[in-house]
Amino acid sequence: MFAKMRNILILLSVILVLAISCVSLGIACAGGIRGVGLLGICFFFTGGVIVVLAQLIPAGILLSSFIGTGISSFRKGELPIRAT
């Protein structure tokens, strides 16, 4: 089962990178860039989007866990933090 899940994750990651690459290629082509520069801009945009996603996803997880911890309590006798 683990090998099947790993193959699915690899396939999904390749599809995500290809989709981002195609969108970046379309943006660069619509911007009027042609030739070898088109490929350079495509890789630049794709790398930028992947780096931004790699930073936003863990930051969103941390932010949501921080908000969840501040709002809810783990024990029945505790009250959540309230701003007064």
**pLDDT digit of tens for each residue in the chain (84 aa)?**
688 899 998 999 889 888 888 888 888 888 888 877 887 877 888 888 888 888 888 898 888 888 877 776 565 556 556 666
Question: What domain range is 28 assigned to?
Answer: 2-69
Look at residue 77 and tell me if it is in a domain. no
Look at residue 82 and tell me if it is in a domain. no
Q: Taking a C-beta distance cutoff of 8 angstroms, is the pair 27, 45 a contact?
A: yes
pLDDT of residue 70: 72
Radius of gyration (C-alpha) of the chain in whole angstroms: 21
Look at residue 56 and tell me if it is in a domain. yes
Q: Taking a C-beta distance cutoff of 8 angstroms, is the pair 17, 46 a contact?
A: yes
HEC per residue, 16-52? HHHHHHHHHHHHHHHCCCCCHHHHHHHHHHHHHHHHH
